[in-house]
Structure 1
Amino acid sequence: MSESPRDLSHLRLPHHPSITSRQAYTYPKPIGSDRSNPPRNRGSHASKLRSDLSNVLGALEQERNSSASEVDVVGEPGFYLDVEFSVSEKDKVLQSIENLRGKAKIELMSVSVSPNSNEYLEATLFVPDSKKNDFTKKITAYENEETKTGKPKNETLVSRIESFFLSSVTSLFTDEKSLFPQDQSVLVWWEVWLRGDRKESFDEITERLDVRVQPHSVKFVEREVVLALANVVQLGQIIRKCDAIAELRIAKDLPSFFFENNELEQQEWMNDLLNKCVFEKSPSVSVCLLDGGVMRTHPLLEPSLSEDDMHSYEPIWGTHDTREGHGTNMSGLLIYGELCEALVSNQKIEISHCLESVKILPPQGENDPNLYGWIMQQGISRAEIQAPFRTRVICMPVTSEGANRGTPSSWSAAIDDLCFGRDKISDELVQRLIILPVGNIRDAINREDYIANNDSASAENPAQSWNALVVGAFTDKVNIVDSKYRHWKPIAPAGDLSPRSRTSCIWSRHWPNRPDVVFEGGNLATDGSCAGEVLDDLSLLTVHHKVNQRLFTLFSDTSAATAFAGCFAAQILVQNPDFWPETVRALIVHSATWTAAMRKHLPAAPQQKDKSILLRRYGYGVPSLEKALWSAKNDLTMIVEDGFQPFQKKENQSNVTTKDMNLHTLPWPKKELEALGERDVEMRVTLSYFIEANPGERGWVRRYSYPSYGLRFATKDATETLSAFKKRITKDAHEEGETVSFKKDKGWFLGTELRNRGSLHSDIWTGTAADLAAKDAIGVHPVGGWWKERPTHNRWNEQIRYALIVSIRVTGEGADIYTPVKTLVKQTLAIELKT
């Protein structure tokens, strides 16, 4: 049965009390008892720990005596201490391990798996000399004193500690352990994560030790990241003489690309395409490409890429394409989308956005070791200074190889900060939409196990970014018509993952799902005797960078998919130039669906682990531009852009608590839905917001949370009153002594655990029209982050914003749910104008 055409504008809901109301919010934590302390023999345990600390202080004194002739101490005198404890006790230990009172304080630097056993963790602390006896005092009090309730003093902390050790360079190394240099005398580039206010001390000590440090840094709230060329011995000297270093990682942000060339195409194709195109004279929407430069003299690029919009991170590099055509290849797809379709089209083609190019890769080789977060910041600022009036999509098809399990890097965190948009000088916010690839597999691909290969190939840096839109590749290209390859078979079936696209299947469950969505990235083929190879028929057509040799070439993989996503986002902004970046990201995800080939991997009764693999392999599926731009009579999309203050610190209180939430009572087509009765319907909800990053490997619990805050959505259940719904989601709506049911809202495909990763949450509810008629309210409320847990940074009084997309879909003909909602919205707007 056919459905209604998509030719109706989405409905943007106004800021009106009848639709959105601000509510006081306190998270209704369920009542439960803390985990009991581990059973210990107080005397023997205290004696063992005191012995550990005595050994630590003895070794420290010996080291200091042997290095007395070296450089003087820089910064606050102190030492690094490793505290070993069970993985199961992580939360309790990290919440109580620091002594933050007074001017000098013990500070947690990092948390990593103990080299002794995977069942234990090591927390590395910096302990000022003035606090070196603090742990001994706590242990002695644990052994000899009781609290008012008769329990040993300091039991929560001391009983959970297994051992103390004097820290080494490896203690601060939070990267994959296999990457740590075996030869301690070899100079390598390190990514050095400094404590937030210790850069000056670090510069002083490295100058004394003749350690080379790159001049640029990337700053975060509590960390500053620099690159230093040093060996392990030199780093050991630094941590003994300076209090600056919080973490160490290997510097590995070196991008790699695939470049492809193919046959010459006819001049007539290009001329015909140019005659069909209508180019906007002064576009207000642009796609800013961060790549290896663009050859703008190509006739298909020249109308959309002004010479004034060609930039370079290093002016001596020039702005033209010197990376074997990658930037030029990207440009063709960013402007025209699927170029083959444009070439054969018989209709006029409107090109309403323009292109900006920022060259962030050198003409040959790789950049000198530097921080790509810094390079991106500088590159984007060049485009923004040149054309501050434009609304832009930022597209960067650059990734780096190396092990990645989802932990944020300095590069991915810098991207999160660029999206969040806090100006470090003015403190003003200018949010940005940044699109990244999930990365490509570079090894040989075999047909038999290709999906398993994808699942084990981790998404590359900087795809860990929470705020960016991260793009993978799928493919519909399976037709091989070239007679030379008639016996060849495509690797991927139609609608499934492109053979080289990476996934986040091996990431820990608390990291975001990557990719967010997938776009066409081409396919590979094999004759059965070889690994997958690139064929013309299974690739994508784009422009060639050597115009004097050929006009067209082939392109593929996640770079091509990222270019399609950039063009897609630009088209949304052309039609809706005032949409927030969070809204555009939400619409792209909201419009995506899993193909039949993707769903085929799910069993008949999928478990949560099956759905998790689906998300981490394909994201939310393949976006539809038609769905992102238009509603239909039977498929209505409502858009809310709103915000509130998530936290507060009341007078005379030191702790930060939650403050507000928004309750959206939507203009719901109740009568029309009730009339449909038991007919099947679906509702989709997507919530998109940008977090402010606070990176550093410190365990990611409570005080050391990476995101500034989180948001969650909850929908009114079909059997609930509005009052009961409020009581379910916020403690402030409860009456004293009242018990409230915390039953889960049923009917969602993913559920809260899977959809609540990262800073973009989307899910689909299915049920009857009669039940949907009563689900007319959505609450958006905050959950904790470092804004709440780190009150000293004074972020607790900040406002946040989000985009909320809600769609209702009734399958088949004969249902008009769009018209009644549009009428209600018009009536609300009329009332708003009168008041």
Structure 2
Amino acid sequence: MPRDKRHFILNALSKSEKFKPKGQPTTKHPSDVADRAGHAQALLQAIDHLPDVKAEGTAGVYLDVAGRPGEIMVTKSLNASGLSLLRFEAGQPAANQPPRATVFATGDALTKLRQKVDDFATKNRLKKDGTEGRPFNADLVQSIGAIVEAGLRALWRSPAARFPEGDAAVPWELWLDKAQAAGFIGNAAEYGVAIGADRLEFPEDIVVIGTATREALALAVRRLGGVRALAAPTVTADYFDAMPIEEQAEWLDNLAGWTTFQVLDDPGYVTLLDRGVSRAHPLVQPALNVDDRHAANPAWDVGDFVGHGTQLAGLALYGDLTVALQTMQPIEIRHRLESAKIIPDAGHNPYHLLGALTRAGINAAERTADRRRTFAMASTTEEDTPHDGAPTSWSSEVDQLTAGVSGDKKIQRLMLISAGNTVQNMFGNADYLAACDQPDNEIESPAQAWNAICVGAYTEKNVLPAGEPGAPVAPVGDLAPSSRTASWSSHWPLKPDVVFEGGNWVVNGPPPPMRHPALSLLTTDHTFPLRAFTTCGDTSGATALAAKAITELWSDYPTLWPETVRAVFVSSARWTPQMHSHLPANPGKGHFAPLFKRYGFGVPDMERARRSASNALTLMVQDEITPYRLSDSGGSDHVHNEMRLFELPWPVEALRELVNSPVTLRVALSTFIAPNPSEPARGSKFRYASHNLRFKLNRPNESRAAFIARISKVAEQTDDEPIDEDDGWTFGRNRRDVGSMQIDQLTCFASDLARRNILAVHPVAGWWKTRAIENPHERSVRFALVVEIDASEAEADLYAEVQAAVEALNAAQAVVV
């Protein structure tokens, strides 16, 4: 049936429900050591061999604490009483590798730690019946296998291969404790550490760039303290060289004549965070005002002297110009362009905090006016790979900017980032997908950011001109050879989110394969009038196409939040038949992992994203939730506050009439989290995100009370407890419950779905819950639910019944108001 009906928008529809009380939590303990006295004595000797902090007058000492192989490490006591847990790595029992922790200890903390070990050796706790129980401090002391002073490598959070070697002064990314940052920055020069001007501020850290030798930095770290982690500063990756095609002035003139730029009161803007844009091109100039070009550094020229930004501009306005020129149909453009240069004209950015430059570019654009902006960034770095999906300073700042925590204006932002491009020389004679799936081809930073949409590339282009030698690398509908993939399949968000056309490569003789103009995207050239068109592609081109599509979607529904637009856009995506061909005949939930890692949720279907049909409708819900509150017992950790229950307007009668016909329900939940990228938090999705939300659907014949009780139980899930549920969901919780957007679908009998119209949104753990923040009950967050009901080929009028229910609901709300 034609998709010619507007989606339903429902606001503030939910009812608040409190969590049912939970039982007493179970605590895991390390097993008892065989020789209690000997274990304690070994640790006491290790502590006595550490530097005398008080005698040396230093702030403290960094400790490398190794656990016991095969045993759990209880880290709570390593982050108390003057000890600061900076980093934790779980062990690998199969390889006999113990867990490890990096801890900063003050002089007083070392004294207390020594006393705790001594008490473990000699004292036992008394049980309620008066008998002796476990030794004092048993969990802490029996978690520790060895203690030594930590060097700089113990603080290193980038890939090990990136650790600086040699004696030269090099840039370091320094993660400083907020309370001690000013002291370190103010005194670093005395130890030969030059601190740069850029600053990134996170909940527990301030990040700066310091240039120093290893020895100078090691001395400053030891004497001044306050350094929580070290990382490699990053530079932007190279961009491909444009492959020009013959200029044809008649094409340009014709295309300009076919194009109409609508003048709207509230147009959407694609804001390109790139190398600037040239206004000289006649296809770009009508959509880009002279005052809408900016730069992160006011000293930079706002023009495009490299070409990349103008190439993206043409794609963001027109799409692939090859299609526009061949169809010769009128073009109507309703959105406009902005440019914020974040990359200098000559070479790469120097060693800056790239998150700070991104923020500066956004601030420069937003000073002009309040607009609906889609920020598109095709600048990424491979300097910190492999990151395995863990946050970096750049990706964390992107999360802050999108959540409205950072930036001059504290507003939520819609942002797209390219997945990054593969290196052609990595391809041999093997299947190109196998090369793309290699860990060293993982998605580049900051595209792993939770709140941003990561755009990868696929291709429909595989036809070479007659007589051209060579063969296309990728089949139609599969991954573009240029597209990077995720190296992780759980824990961190599913990336990429979607894929768009990125062109294909050609094999002609020995590897590596080469880009070919015929298999690329046609776009605008920055050197006009010397050249009108050039070719572009890869994930940069895909990101520009995605920015065009999502901005047009947002223009259809201008009152939607960025969180909602993201959910509608990504949820509309589907895998192509070629992508599906990589699945077995009857796939289980685990079989979807390679598809998510390559294609995300697939190619967005913009017809589905923008309109409903009589037999396929979309409900868009926008609401708020207060996830946590103070504990009634006064404990340091907060507790879950509420869940939001939705009894949605449901096409009950229409579904009953379909009886046993299969119907697909697809649900997307989207919220923007505030990040906490401190080193201990980087190892947990529950501690990196301010809050984590999940959705649940009632089962057939499940009572409201039973539904609430089930949610109260699963809300206590932790990183160590992957749970799958037999509810018919296609992807399952282990794939779905990651990141700040969850999408899943189920197919069932229509008569069953008629009885499943209660959806719940509830919190699970986040750092707002586990960290002692003030007044958690005053911290509400927005979220969006997008619910699709699709009867596929069945002729049914689901839409009309829901429309009548929504009209009645709106009338009732108007009476209340």
Give the TM-score, by structure 1 length. Answer: 0.91
For residues 777-807 of structure 1, the C-alpha deviation after alignment (integer angstroms, 9 at most, x for no partner) is 1110001111001124554530011110000
SS at 2:604 equivalent? coil
CA contact 1:329–1:543 (8 Å) conserved in 2:
yes
Does the alignment pair 1:277 with 2:259? yes
| Residues 236 and 472 of structure 1: CA distance in aligned 2, closer, same or farther (over 3 Å) | same
SS at 2:621 equivalent? strand
Q: Which residue of 2 aligns with 1:293?
A: 276
Q: 2:610 aligns with which of 614, 620, 629?
A: 629
CA contact 1:14–1:829 (8 Å) conserved in 2:
no
| Residues 424 and 632 of structure 1: CA distance in aligned 2, closer, same or farther (over 3 Å) | closer
CA contact 2:666–2:743 (8 Å) conserved in 1:
yes
Does the alignment pair 1:705 with 2:687? yes
Q: Which residue of 2 aligns with 1:461?
A: 445
Taking the aligned partners of 1:743 and 1:751, their CA distance within structure 2 comes to 6
Q: Which residue of 2 aligns with 1:126?
A: 104
| Residues 360 and 743 of structure 1: CA distance in aligned 2, closer, same or farther (over 3 Å) | closer
| Residues 536 and 368 of structure 1: CA distance in aligned 2, closer, same or farther (over 3 Å) | closer
Taking the aligned partners of 1:268 and 1:630, their CA distance within structure 2 comes to 36
| Residues 458 and 790 of structure 1: CA distance in aligned 2, closer, same or farther (over 3 Å) | same
The equivalences for 1:410-559 within 5 A come to 410-422=393-405, 429-444=410-425, 445-446=427-428, 448-456=430-438, 457-485=441-469, 488-504=470-486, 506-507=487-488, 509-559=490-540
CA contact 1:787–1:794 (8 Å) conserved in 2:
no
CA contact 1:27–1:729 (8 Å) conserved in 2:
no
Taking the aligned partners of 2:22 and 2:623, their CA distance within structure 1 comes to 23
Taking the aligned partners of 1:597 and 1:827, their CA distance within structure 2 comes to 44
| Residues 470 and 204 of structure 1: CA distance in aligned 2, closer, same or farther (over 3 Å) | same
For residues 593-624 of structure 1, the C-alpha deviation after alignment (integer angstroms, 9 at most, x for no partner) is 01111111112233443211211111000001
CA contact 2:237–2:380 (8 Å) conserved in 1:
yes
The equivalences for 1:224-623 within 5 A come to 224-282=206-264, 284-323=267-306, 325-388=307-370, 390-402=371-383, 403=385, 404-422=387-405, 429-444=410-425, 445-446=427-428, 448-456=430-438, 457-485=441-469, 488-504=470-486, 506-507=487-488, 509-623=490-604
Amino acid at match of 2:246: L
Q: How far did residue 211 of structure 1 move?
A: 2.0
| Residues 241 and 113 of structure 1: CA distance in aligned 2, closer, same or farther (over 3 Å) | farther
CA contact 1:639–1:804 (8 Å) conserved in 2:
yes
SS at 1:197 equivalent? helix
Q: Which residue of 1 aligns with 2:4?
A: 7
Amino acid at match of 1:690: F
For residues 471-496 of structure 1, the C-alpha deviation after alignment (integer angstroms, 9 at most, x for no partner) is 100001111124233xx221111110
CA contact 2:492–2:685 (8 Å) conserved in 1:
no
Taking the aligned partners of 2:685 and 2:533, their CA distance within structure 1 comes to 53
SS at 2:2 equivalent? coil
Q: 2:657 aligns with which of 675, 698, 703?
A: 675
| Residues 695 and 13 of structure 1: CA distance in aligned 2, closer, same or farther (over 3 Å) | same
Q: How far did residue 834 of structure 1 move?
A: 1.6
Q: How far did residue 39 of structure 1 move?
A: 3.9
Q: Which residue of 1 aligns with 2:84?
A: 107
Taking the aligned partners of 2:612 and 2:397, their CA distance within structure 1 comes to 36
Question: Once structures 1 and 2 are overlaid, which stretch shifts more, 792-801 or 696-705?
Answer: 696-705
Taking the aligned partners of 2:326 and 2:534, their CA distance within structure 1 comes to 16
Q: 1:37 aligns with which of 31, 39, 43?
A: 31
Q: 2:708 aligns with which of 723, 726, 729?
A: 726
SS at 1:788 equivalent? helix
Q: Which residue of 2 aligns with 1:151?
A: 134
For residues 316-369 of structure 1, the C-alpha deviation after alignment (integer angstroms, 9 at most, x for no partner) is 32111122x100100001111222222233443221111001111111111221
| Residues 732 and 398 of structure 1: CA distance in aligned 2, closer, same or farther (over 3 Å) | closer
Amino acid at match of 2:658: L
Q: How far did residue 716 of structure 1 move?
A: 0.8
SS at 2:263 equivalent? coil
Aligned residues: 796
| Residues 704 and 217 of structure 1: CA distance in aligned 2, closer, same or farther (over 3 Å) | farther
CA contact 2:724–2:734 (8 Å) conserved in 1:
no
SS at 1:791 equivalent? coil
Q: How far did residue 534 of structure 1 move?
A: 1.4
The equivalences for 1:745-784 within 5 A come to 745-784=726-765
Taking the aligned partners of 1:27 and 1:687, their CA distance within structure 2 comes to 25
Taking the aligned partners of 1:21 and 1:224, their CA distance within structure 2 comes to 39
| Residues 765 and 642 of structure 1: CA distance in aligned 2, closer, same or farther (over 3 Å) | same
SS at 2:134 equivalent? coil
Amino acid at match of 2:288: L
Percent identity of equivalent pairs: 35
CA contact 2:193–2:217 (8 Å) conserved in 1:
no
Q: How far did residue 29 of structure 1 move?
A: 6.9
The equivalences for 1:771-810 within 5 A come to 771-792=752-773, 794-795=775-776, 797-810=778-791
Q: How far did residue 743 of structure 1 move?
A: 9.2
Q: How far did residue 749 of structure 1 move?
A: 0.8
SS at 1:13 equivalent? strand
Does the alignment pair 1:187 with 2:187? no
Q: How far did residue 423 of structure 1 move?
A: 5.0
Q: How far did residue 533 of structure 1 move?
A: 1.3
Q: Which residue of 1 aligns with 2:116?
A: 138
Q: How far did residue 644 of structure 1 move?
A: 1.1
Question: Once structures 1 and 2 are overlaid, which stretch shifts more, 202-211 or 30-39?
Answer: 30-39
Taking the aligned partners of 2:32 and 2:403, their CA distance within structure 1 comes to 42
Taking the aligned partners of 1:530 and 1:710, their CA distance within structure 2 comes to 45
Q: How far did residue 89 of structure 1 move?
A: 4.6
CA contact 2:359–2:401 (8 Å) conserved in 1:
yes
| Residues 193 and 115 of structure 1: CA distance in aligned 2, closer, same or farther (over 3 Å) | farther
Question: Once structures 1 and 2 are overlaid, which stretch shifts more, 143-152 or 661-670?
Answer: 143-152
For residues 459-482 of structure 1, the C-alpha deviation after alignment (integer angstroms, 9 at most, x for no partner) is 111112011000100001111124
| Residues 703 and 333 of structure 1: CA distance in aligned 2, closer, same or farther (over 3 Å) | closer
Amino acid at match of 1:24: K
CA contact 1:594–1:622 (8 Å) conserved in 2:
yes
Q: How far did residue 767 of structure 1 move?
A: 1.2
Q: How far did residue 32 of structure 1 move?
A: 5.4
Taking the aligned partners of 2:633 and 2:586, their CA distance within structure 1 comes to 54
| Residues 414 and 118 of structure 1: CA distance in aligned 2, closer, same or farther (over 3 Å) | farther
CA contact 1:46–1:140 (8 Å) conserved in 2:
yes
Q: Which residue of 2 aligns with 1:169?
A: 152
RMSD: 2.4
Q: 1:47 aligns with which of 35, 41, 44?
A: 41
CA contact 1:26–1:657 (8 Å) conserved in 2:
no
Question: Once structures 1 and 2 are overlaid, which stretch shifts more, 248-257 or 793-802?
Answer: 793-802
For residues 663-703 of structure 1, the C-alpha deviation after alignment (integer angstroms, 9 at most, x for no partner) is 01111111111111111111000011111000022164679
